[in-house]
Amino acid sequence: MSEKQIRGMASRVASFGTSIFAEMTRLATEHKATNLSQGFPDFDGPAFLREGAKAAIDAGQNQYARMLGHPLLCEAIGARWRAETGLSIDADRQVLVTSGCTEALAATFLGLIEPGDEVVMFEPFYDSYRACASMAGARVRPVRLIPGVRGWEFDQRELEEAFGERTRAILVNTPHNPTGKVFTREELLVIARLCARWGVVAITDEVYERLVYRENRPHIRMATLPGMEDRTLTLSSIGKSFSVTGWKIGWAIGPAGLVAGVRAAHQFLTFAVSTPMQIACAEAIRPGGPGDAYVASLVEEYRTGLGLLGGALAEMGFGVMPVEGSYFIMADHRMLGFENDVELCRDLVVRGGVAAIPPSAFYERPEDGASFVRFAFCKRRETLEAAIERMRVWREGLIGRSA
């Protein structure tokens, strides 16, 4: 019987209690919903990858890997980087393997950002960004991505005003979750000029780097822009491109000085990452390996699924924003007459049997995201068709209800 109550959560994590994902997943299970909420495929990754991990386990590759990453994977990441960017890279000094991009983000914030530093990031944010900033004691300077006729755009003046003496870094996620935006070269050049002017590091989250759907919107790496190689830290992972989100193998690539900071944090966060999975991933990433054909066919599948779901949503009256990359469609639901995104998502899952994500959770002021709903299309054709069928019935019911 202690007199003094024990204290629960620390303030640096308290405001990030439970995410909206947890509630939507619970409702989805309860109502046996077709799940288009969380961004993970409902099918398996390629056989060569799964067989590679099994073979590594059977070959006795089961002890700690090297702290900075298994040499085979670091080499493969370096080789792909050279092949794609034409830049030179020393895989032993400029690559770090992490437990997914999530850990790469956390280790980057903890390893490079001082308390009180400011980090510019585009809103809507991926859900771990603000938590990472909070854990590192950094101040977030949000810049809005605004829906317009040409897709999601930022206001250049707003971006310029977010930079200042205290700015240490800008975090750019392209292709972007949840909007599906792929930043153009012109937009990245605007960011690059500000980075040079203010002595700022660019941290890029490129987990969807290979999932782009439009010929005229290729994925452009910030590190390849003039003057950016020495100030860009590129983060990515295997999960999205190879449909193995549960594997949690990610990496950071950048100048040795920045990677050293991320490594210093990684050393005491996770130290080393699963050995057999790293060995399997090396084969998937190797340029000219079996991974390239897999990714090409996956992109075709996703392009088809995107067309199917996007078309159906538009027919139902949603304002479907153009999707250039990623796993997601953002759709404006204001034509359907709901108060906000959370109300719509609750009704859709409870009465319609389809789970989606209310994106207000990705905004500093929830009302800024309240007119949209996020659907994940990284699902089998049958799943998308079932969801569309259920949503059509639900939509018909709405018309009857409001009349």
Ligand X SMILES: *Cc1c(COP(=O)(O)O)cnc(C)c1O
Query: What does 226-271 look like in DSSP terms, one character per residue?
Result: TTTGGGEEEEEESTTTTT-TTT--EEEE--HHHHHHHHHHHHHHTS
Among 205, 209, 283, 324, binds ligand X (CB under 6 A): 205
Structure tokens of 31? 């109502």
* Type of residue found at 254: G
- The distance of closest approach from Cβ of residue 336 to ligand X in the complex, given in angstroms and rounded to an integer, is 26
Per-residue DSSP letters for 117-136? -EEEEEESPPHHHHHHHHHH
Nearest approach in angstroms of CB 100 to ligand X is 2
Q: Is 147 in the site for ligand X (CB under 6 A)?
A: no
Parallel, antiparallel, or unpaired: how do β-strands 95-98 and 250-253 relate? antiparallel
Tokens 């709903």, residue? Answer: 373
Q: Which of 108, 173, 274, 360 contacts ligand X by CB under 6 A?
A: 173
3-state secondary structure of 336: helix
Least Å distance, CB 129 to ligand X, is: 8
- Piece of 219-227, 237-245, 289-297, 382-390 that binds ligand X (CB under 6 A): 237-245
- Figure out which of the listed residues 250, 276, 291, 359 binds ligand X, where binding follows CB under 6 A: 250
Q: How far apart are CA 123 and CA 101, in angstroms?
A: 19
Using rule CB under 6 A, residue 41 touches ligand X = no
Instruction: Give the whole-angstrom CA distance, residue 208 versus residue 213.
Output: 11
Contacts with ligand X, 108-137, as mask; x by CB under 6 A: ------------------x-----------
How is residue 202 annotated by DSSP? E
100 near ligand X, judged by CB under 6 A: yes
Residue 180 or 239 with smaller CB distance to ligand X: 239
Binding-site member from 35, 61, 102, 274 for ligand X (CB under 6 A): 102
Q: Which residues bind ligand X (CB under 6 A)?
A: 39, 100-102, 126, 173, 177, 205, 207, 237, 239, 245, 248, 250
